[in-house]
């Protein structure tokens, strides 16, 4: 007779459900705020709703930077500050300090869709993982925790977490790199290396997902052992 696992998992299910609801509400608020006001950049110093800010390319990666321009070097030598425009950019693009970013007021649909989706890509992957975890706990409470269905869902959760967060972070990097290159007036050298260097790889999510996959294999072995024991009784 299968063990009743509904009671031990009751509080776990409640905590996960609360986290799922809070995460979903917070994300819905941020998405709505981005759609209506421009999101995190809406209330900046310039008060621009459609402001797009992405990490700027390295100075030496852009042709025509101040280090390669004799006039710019001469001006820098005669001043004690840092050049506000270390390399040429497109019209309407500004540098944001102290964090090295370039920003542009761009209300075009294509740019806003790319920019806003890149901001929420990783959050969406984590929200999906929380939803799958909630469904997994529900099934484990209804059936035995060693059922083959639960094992498959545990493995699927781990794979989804790994693939989802890696794909989301890669998508964000590609979009930010593309937007940054489009804002620079000069030629950007080694765009691929620039994107790779700026890729915030989700190591924590990858390790957590791998741990879930390994755990599913361990649970599967336990399920087979239980079936063998039940067959001998």
Report pLDDT for 131: 96
Query: Is residue 51 classed as helix, strand or coil in its secondary structure?
Result: strand
Question: What percentage of the chain carries pLDDT values higher than 90?
Answer: 35
Average of per-residue pLDDT across 28-36: 83
**What is the per-residue pLDDT for 142?**
78
Of the two residues 88 and 66, the one the predictor is more confident about is 88
Short-list 29, 227, 208, 74, CA closest to 133: 208
Contacts 24+ apart (CB under 8 A), 18-25: 19/130, 20/127, 20/130, 20/131, 20/133, 20/134, 23/123, 23/126, 23/127, 23/130, 24/127
For the segment 114-142, the average pLDDT, to the nearest whole number, is 91
pLDDT (tens digit per residue) in 157-184: 999 999 999 999 999 999 999 999 999 9
Beta-bridged to residue 54, according to DSSP, are: 102
Per-residue pLDDT, 70:
61
Q: Containing H/E element for 102?
A: strand 101-105
Q: Indicate whether 233 pLDDT > 50.
A: yes
More confident residue, 210 or 11: 210
Residue 104, pLDDT > 70, answer yes
pLDDT at 72: 57
**Confidence grade of residue 1 (pLDDT, cut at 50, 70, 90):** very low
In DSSP terms, which residues pair with 23 in a beta bridge? none
Is residue 34 exposed (0-12), middle (13-18) or buried (19+ Cβ within 10 Å)? buried
Domain boundaries, the chain: 10-50+107-232
Which position has the higher pLDDT, 22 or 143? 22
**Whole-structure pTM value:** 0.80
With 60 as the cut, is the pLDDT of residue 25 above it? yes
**Do residues 144 and 13 lie in contact, with contact meaning Cβ atoms separated by under 8 Å?**
no
Q: What is the mean pLDDT of the chain?
A: 81
If one compares 89 and 77, the residue with the highest pLDDT of the two is: 89
- Whether 131 and 20 have beta carbons less than 8 Å apart is answered as yes
Count of beta carbons in the 10 Å neighbourhood of residue 164: 22
């Amino acid at each position: 007779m299968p063990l009743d696992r509904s009671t031990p998992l009751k509080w776990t299910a409640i905590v996960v459900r609360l986290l799922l609801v809070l995460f979903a509400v917070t994300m819905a608020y941020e998405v709505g705020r981005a759609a209506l006001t421009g999101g995190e950049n809406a209330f900046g110093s310039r008060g621009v709703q459609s402001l797009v800010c992405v990490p700027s390319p390295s100075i030496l990666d852009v042709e025509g930077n101040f280090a390669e321009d004799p006039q710019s070097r001469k001006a820098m030598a005669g001043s004690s500050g840092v050049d506000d425009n270390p390399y040429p950019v497109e019209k309407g693009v500004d540098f944001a300090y102290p964090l090295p970013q370039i920003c542009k007021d761009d209300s075009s649909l294509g740019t806003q869709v790319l920019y806003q989706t890149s901001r929420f890509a990783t959050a969406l992957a984590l929200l999906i993982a929380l939803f799958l975890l909630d469904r997994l706990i529900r099934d484990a409470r209804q059936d035995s925790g060693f059922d083959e269905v639960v094992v498959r869902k545990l493995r699927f959760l781990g794979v989804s977490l790994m693939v989802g967060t890696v794909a989301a972070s890669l998508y964000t990097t590609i979009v930010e790199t593309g937007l940054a290159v489009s804002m620079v007036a000069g030629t950007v050298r080694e765009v691929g290396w620039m994107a790779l260097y700026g890729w915030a790889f989700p190591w924590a999510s990858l390790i957590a997902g791998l741990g879930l996959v390994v755990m599913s294999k361990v649970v599967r072995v336990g399920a087979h052992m239980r079936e063998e024991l039940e067959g001998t009784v």
